[in-house]
Structure 1
Amino acid sequence: MAGDNVMSEVDGVKVHSNNVDVTSWRPLSLTFVEYPKGDLVGYVLAWYSLLPIFILVGFGTLIVFRRDLHTMFYLCGILLNEVSNWILKHSIQELRPHQRGCLTTEFGMPSSHAQFMWFFSTYLSFCLFIRFHHNNTWLDNAWKYATCTGSILITACVCYSRVYLQYHTYSQVCWGAVIGVILGSIWFLIVNVVITPVFPALASCGLGELLLIRDTSLIPNILWFEYTSARTEARSRQRKLVSRKTQ
């Protein structure tokens, strides 16, 4: 215990010291990413490894300010995906290729980063091409393809970063990607076939109204709807304000 006399051995020599704190400390590996010193590519890829955290923060922000049910269940799917990854890792118990001080007790099969990002990209792609079907113009299709392609490229960078930084093998990353795609597809099917029909009841219940929960699943273009609604309301209020001033 801290505060007791401790006999320690340094370079083969026993050292007697008083009031030495021998508590074992471990860093939280969620944000602990190492890269080779002086390696610019490793530095950039280390930041890519933090993208899942940034995505989770983005989801939290969206839910707080938009209160949309589909966004909430998108996040629920991501969290369930992480739970499944934890179960798989501790069932398979395959070690990482390069053990670091804070990761000696963690397993690497399948890669949680790869599974997370491919779940996210798969679900997003289905949303873009199945749920968002308000128009079929070349401009509408162009931004869908651009968003989907960008998401896949970023996901590939995150996966490569885990191999480059020696946190996972190619096999661990590939299996994480396969599982992420499968679970993302299954969860999209569950949400759109089973859960979405219940959205109106969830939004209109007492708790839903109290928390200002919204169901936008029947609105084909939510951005255009919100833009036109806000513009119409602003013009209506402006006319009322002018009318009051002229009276």
Structure 2
Amino acid sequence: MENPPLASLSLTHVHYNPADRISYLCAWLALVPQGLCVIYATLIWSNREIEIMLMFAGQMACEAFNWILKRLIKEERPREMHGKGYGMPSSHAQFVVFFSVTLTLFLLFRHVPHPTETHTPFSFFQRFILSVLALISAAAVAVSRIYLNYHTPKQVLVGCLAGAVCAVVWFGITTYLRKSGWVEWILETELARLFRVRDLVIQEDLVDSGWARWVERRRKRQPTLQVQAKKTR
């Protein structure tokens, strides 16, 4: 065909009212799940932390659960909306609530960072504030789906509930995997060793990862750098 019909890749296609600034903001909030997937992929590739891999696995399981729920309930979206497919429960709401609740549970109950010579980790209160901000951000994304008429309030509430339940259940599963030694067993496999999978984020902040080693290396190089500086004068 010389002029075949074109299709739209609607992965990030969001309708909003250009005359409404709040609607414009909500359109950007609709891209948060895609942004979180990019963050997941970046952290997994760069840090190889098994905790992040487990969190992403739970996130994908939560998405699969949403897919099943939509096809079981088969509730349509609001009449005035522009989206396609079933609306119950909201996948956006379920996605961001799973992420924020899982992050909250990790920060408050599993993450126990140890201070180093070069870094003082966040206190429990600071981690609590981060958790609250994550939950508020999730709420903003959920409300945006109602504002843009992609979902009814009930569909968003059910999505939030499903995401929270999935997060709590998955946190319990990963806690069992840790206590029963399954995580340690995975880390000892040849595949985990091949891809340099590690488990440091429980006791070490991501921002401090490798920083202490870098400071120590710079400290050892300091005399050599001073000698080189004197020679160039």
* TM value normalised by structure 1: 0.80
Task: Tell me, yes or no, if structure 1 residue 50 matches structure 2 residue 50.
Answer: no
For 1:241 and 1:188, how far apart are their aligned partners in 2?
A: 49
Secondary structure in structure 2 of the residue aligned to 1:30: helix
- Please tell me the residue identity of whatever aligns with 1:37: P
- Which of 185, 190, 200 lines up with 1:201 in the alignment? 185
> Is residue 96–residue 167 contact of structure 1 (8 Å, CA) maintained in 2?
yes
Tell me which residue corresponds to 1:164: 147
Q: 1:174 to 1:97 in 2, by over 3 A?
A: same
Q: 1:38 to 1:128 in 2, by over 3 A?
A: same
1:93-127 CA-partner distances (Å, limit 9, x unpaired): 10000366661xx0000000000011001100001
For 1:29 and 1:95, how far apart are their aligned partners in 2?
A: 19
For 2:113 and 2:53, how far apart are their aligned partners in 1?
A: 22
Matches within 5 A, 1:205-220: 205-216=189-200, 219=203
- Please tell me the residue identity of whatever aligns with 2:176: V
Point out 4+ residue stretches in structure 1 off by more than 4 angstroms: 99-102, 220-225, 239-245
- Please tell me the residue identity of whatever aligns with 2:127: K
> Is residue 131–residue 220 contact of structure 1 (8 Å, CA) maintained in 2?
no
For 1:222 and 1:178, how far apart are their aligned partners in 2?
A: 29
> Is residue 129–residue 144 contact of structure 1 (8 Å, CA) maintained in 2?
yes
- Please tell me the residue identity of whatever aligns with 1:232: E
Matches within 5 A, 1:165-244: 165-195=148-178, 197-216=181-200, 219=203, 221=205, 223-224=207-208, 226-236=210-220, 238=221, 241=224
Deviates more, 1:125-134 or 1:65-74: 125-134
> Is residue 29–residue 102 contact of structure 1 (8 Å, CA) maintained in 2?
no
- Which of 80, 89, 102 lines up with 1:110 in the alignment? 89
For 1:235 and 1:178, how far apart are their aligned partners in 2?
A: 51
Tell me which residue corresponds to 1:121: 100
Task: Tell me, yes or no, if structure 1 residue 69 matches structure 2 residue 50.
Answer: yes
> Is residue 219–residue 225 contact of structure 1 (8 Å, CA) maintained in 2?
no
The Cα shift of 1:195 comes to: 4.7
> Is residue 111–residue 202 contact of structure 2 (8 Å, CA) maintained in 1?
no
Matched residues, number: 224
Percentage of identical aligned residues: 30
Q: Which has the higher contact order (CA 8 A, sep 6+)?
A: 2
Tell me which residue corresponds to 1:14: none
The Cα shift of 1:232 comes to: 2.3
> Is residue 114–residue 176 contact of structure 1 (8 Å, CA) maintained in 2?
yes
Gaps of 5+ in 2: 115-119, 229-233
Q: 1:178 to 1:229 in 2, by over 3 A?
A: same
- Which of 59, 75, 97 lines up with 2:78 in the alignment? 97
Q: 1:148 to 1:110 in 2, by over 3 A?
A: same
The Cα shift of 1:198 comes to: 2.3
